[in-house]
Homo-oligomer: A and B are copies of this chain.
């Protein structure tokens, strides 16, 4: 019950505890929501008693596992000092391909699956965590870039949230829901790059300032 005292943030964890959580994470990817405490204990070569002592109950273990995975993703902030059209374009393409790589990874799919499943029944804590470290974190990182670009006259929009959501939609499209529903969707590195470039061109076509919207709105591809 009081397990969340020792598992704040995800920083104060013993190496052994991190090993256990990594084992739980691997098992979560393999088994999905139907992993058992016994299986986690066996995989991590620890006793169930230890699991319950460290994480309280099954819910605490799942929460700690998701938080542990979330804490592993740390991103360097983008310097909004000098930004021009090529660097903006490169930055957007970077965000897009990063995001596509994340949502198509086995780990992300497994974590989102269990979070979605549990959001239905009782505490939707896992859903909030996944959302906070996924879509919301992306928005927090991307919005300053968008606003800096607007300050430089490269983009034109009223609401950064709306612009971000358009970018999100252009990038993700139907990929995440199809993967979550079990669609066998191959996403090679090259395809991710192409999709990221297309999404960036389309976003610039929609939100670029007038003198920058000279590309990407037709079926004829521009330079790249």
Please list the residues of chain A having a beta carbon within 8 angstroms of any beta carbon in chain B.
31-34, 110, 112-117, 119-121, 124, 127-128, 130-131, 135, 156-158, 162, 165-166, 168-174, 176-178, 180-183, 198, 202, 205-206, 210, 213, 217-219
Residues A181 and B217 in contact, CB atoms below 8 Å apart: no
In the complex, 20 of the A-B residue pairs with CB atoms within 8 angstroms, ordered by the A residue number, are A32-B120, A34-B121, A113-B120, A117-B117, A119-B182, A124-B181, A127-B183, A128-B182, A131-B178, A131-B181, A131-B183, A135-B178, A156-B218, A158-B219, A165-B174, A166-B170, A168-B173, A169-B172, A170-B170, A205-B217
Q: Label chain A's interface by main secondary structure.
A: helix
From B121, B131, B169, give the contact of A32 (CB < 8 A): B121
Which of A31, A130, A174, A210 is packed against the most chain B CB atoms within 10 Å? A174
Q: A130-B181, A157-B219, A169-B169 are in contact. List 14 more A-B contacts (CB 8 A).
A: A113-B116, A113-B117, A113-B119, A114-B120, A116-B117, A117-B120, A119-B180, A127-B180, A127-B181, A131-B181, A131-B183, A156-B218, A169-B171, A177-B177
